[in-house]
Amino acid sequence: MRIEIWADVVCGWAYIGKRRVEKAVEGLDVEVVWRPFRIDPMAPAQAVPHEEAMADPMADDALRRCAPGLTPGENRVRMSLVAAEEGFGWTWGPAWRADSHDAHRLIALALEHGGPALQDAVAERVMKAHFLDKLDISDRATLHRLAAESGFAAAGALLDAGEGDELVRELLLKGKAIGVTTSPTIVAGSQALAGAQPPEVIREFVLAATPARPLPAEVERYRHAESLLDQRDPLGALVMLKPLLGEHGDDRNVLLLTGRAYYLSAQLGRARETLERLVAAAPDDAYARHLLGRTLQRQGHADEAAPHLRMAAAMAPEYA
């Protein structure tokens, strides 16, 4: 079975969770894969000293995403104590508030180019660099060195070429779509376990998990787009839908979801074009007509909107 750990490498509980997962799955036939999560997406592009950053309320918000239910001060104390218990020592703690995007790119590329073992080695080296070696893991030269030390010599050129950027952004959207809200979150099969739980809890969770029913890639992508739209993230939904529009551009469900996403993101011209295609192909689709009418209204075309709104209301009273 594959276990996915959705985590941010600048979240101390993720590093603690890594140690606990290693203990939990010892002797089990499992494959552990790391996936990105961002606790601090507003971290500055240029790292700042951690102590200085702690005065920023945005940093407090990030810590809350790393430890729901604890104040930032409580989280720091609790994390330091647990880190010592897990063998990290008393020098635990970052020196920098660092943007983790490129580190996530490196970790994702390690999986693509070397599989889970290389990815695990890279993730370990990056988190050790941040929490124990006091390095700035947003620095590209530092990431080049860490990758080489982990056996991923090709990573430097890949990072410099921008590889992995789109992949990480899509994975972040997938995490949001499946309901990941904290770092770390362990996903096994169709179940999720939030937080750096004790090894015995993680082991029990993994043993009880059942493999998720495999879905065609396009169906999974469509469902992720649906979830993002339900979460009021139409731009994220459009990112997920983009490949489907190329491969399944005539599918009514794809067109309707795309039209909704364009409408909710105020891209009214694209919404109109998409919904007109759908209404032409499916003139009895009341919701598509209603949404096309609302789109035309928002564009200031009341006369063009009226027939669609009337027909939608005649077909489905809830649109009256």
When mean pLDDT is compared across 69-83, 171-185, 203-217, the lowest value belongs to 69-83
Judge residue 38's burial from the number of C-beta atoms within 10 Å of its C-beta, 0-12 exposed, 13-18 middle, 19 or more buried. buried
* Confidence grade of residue 320 (pLDDT, cut at 50, 70, 90): confident
Contact 202, 193 (CB under 8 A): yes
- What's the pLDDT tens digit per position in 135-145? 999 999 999 99
Distance separating alpha carbons of residues 51 and 47, to the nearest angstrom = 12
- What's the pLDDT tens digit per position in 211-254? 888 889 999 999 999 999 999 999 999 999 999 998 888 899 99
* Confidence grade of residue 66 (pLDDT, cut at 50, 70, 90): confident
Please report which residue ranges of 150-285 form alpha helices under DSSP H: 155-160, 165-177, 199-208, 217-230, 234-247, 252-264, 268-281
Q: What's the whole-number average pLDDT of the chain?
A: 93
Predicted TM-score (pTM) of this structure: 0.92
Domain annotation for the chain: domains and CATH numbers = 2-208 (3.40.30.10), 217-319 (1.25.40.10)
